[in-house]
Structure 1
Amino acid sequence: MDRLREMEVFVAVVDQGSFTSASNKLGLSTAAVSRAVASLEERVGAQLLARTTRTLRPTDAGAAYVDACRKVLDAISDAEANLAADRLNPVGTLTVSAPVLFGQRFVAPLVNAFALRFPDVGIHATYVDRTTRLLEEGVDVAIRIGHLGDSSIFAVPLGFVRRRTYAAPAYLAAHGEPRHPRELIDHDCVSCTGVSLPLEWVFNDKGTRLPVRFRPRMIVDLVPAAVSAAVDCVGITQLLSYQAAPEVSEGKLHPILTAFEPESTPVSLLHVERRGASGKVRAFLEFVTETLRNNAHLQDMDVIPASATPRNR
């Protein structure tokens, strides 16, 4: 039994006047109550209760100690009540960071709803396609897509996305569908530098990392530009699964080389590690976490309608 619990038991014994009454109040056995008091007496090195066959009262040391225990327990209760109130009615400015497209599609609507739900919290939302340094940049909460290595942060897992290769059905009908990543050398490709290296895409061949180098038909630095080029049949592109989700759903793009996809990439909700996070941070985490975890595009799969499958392959 931890020290605070032992203190709580000791106060109950003094208040109730007996071990039996204290055990009934706390839902513990009489033996457990007796052990807790004995452990506390051994810890403080003093007898806290004077016991006779008929009476039980605190010793002088026990009377002084029970007052100290009440102050500690009352302080903890007050702190917990204040934290609960702070979470229910958060105030201050909350700084949130997320990747641009992910933030636009999935985070911004939640930020807007949070702002309406908690009018006393100001929002500073930053959408950037780079790794945000929470401590250095004063960011309270950040979405990160990728493996984590920063020990100074708390990470709340949200799900996964895949690095997938896409082509328009019309492109596949005209040029055929590659069956192996090495066949990309014979195809037009559109590289997006925000997602992968411009001259090399990485695949997985039966558990082995498979880098494939090629000469791209086009290199862009914005995901929407890569999506647009692929839809317009400029070439094959490689993106994170959520980035092409609307076009896949509409049948404008189709995932290819799916048997060679690399391992999925984790998506996490990060906040700075510190004891007793502020009410605004806790409230935001509670507000968005389950919604993001239930997002179909973070479940390590694409939703591919039958109409999206090309007829000529």
Structure 2
Amino acid sequence: MLAFAKDISEPPPTHPEEVKNPKLKEYMDYHRNINHEKLVYYSLDQSKGYLQKEMGACSDDKKKIEDYLKNNFPITYSHVKDPEQLLMMLRKLINAHNSTNNWYRMNPYFCTVVYDCMNQFVTLFNRLLNEGSDEVNSYQVFRDQPEKINFDDWVQLYFHDGDFLIGKNVEHPHFLFFKRNQAIEENMSARKESDEKPETALEALRKEFEMDPIIIRMLLGQSPSPKDLELFYTSRENPIYEYLYDTESPDGFMDGEALIDHSYFLSFQIFGLSRQEASSVLEEAANISRN
């Protein structure tokens, strides 16, 4: 199965503050209602099917398939322009996701593909839901009554970071990733005005912001190498998510708070908000914490 920032094979746990906060419980119930594993699968499988269909229909029309990739894989297209390569990546992602024995870690190239696929699927699902279409029920995305899926919220909770979105035209707020990405982009712009070579400037940025080296290659517009097209795996028996439940972690917002509880509560606080609104809410929360 694909290894996201949280274990998508299990419903989210009960947050310790749910009993005191009905709105938080409603938010957690929403996430527990989602079958996250199925959501990812349908997103990938449907994108693969649509891509194959388009490739067959446009086999003699290179411009048409290029336009299809630009419109449906806007984040991915800046570095993966070959439809055959994209199809291969989708097949690898689906095969990995269907594995019951291993966790598969995605590098930033694969993250862009998953992001685009999920954005497409969630848009379609929400439209069908709004239209009252029976087709919604054909997707086993919810354990109970289907609800509108908040893509912005999902991305911030389940992707490890948003570095693969740096320099991209993103339609969603992704506030929890925005400040870091904005700082990196501003630093990039400042360095462009100097006499530094792009490779040198980006390598300095990589060290300063501790970025994955692949991000630098993506920012330089480089396509994935054969090595980049591999998904690294570890046994499902390895407790890769155990640290999220450590109540003694120094990264929690409060003493005794597990990282997973902190993550859900943070996302709950800014659920459905614009960047400006989210900034105000978190600034107010930080002031309360300091006092």
TM-score by shorter chain over 0.5 = no
Normalized against structure 2, the TM-score is what?
Answer: 0.21
Normalized against structure 1, the TM-score is what?
Answer: 0.20
Which one has a larger percent helix, Structure 1 or Structure 2?
A: 2
- Indicate the structure (1 or 2) with the bigger Cα radius of gyration: 1
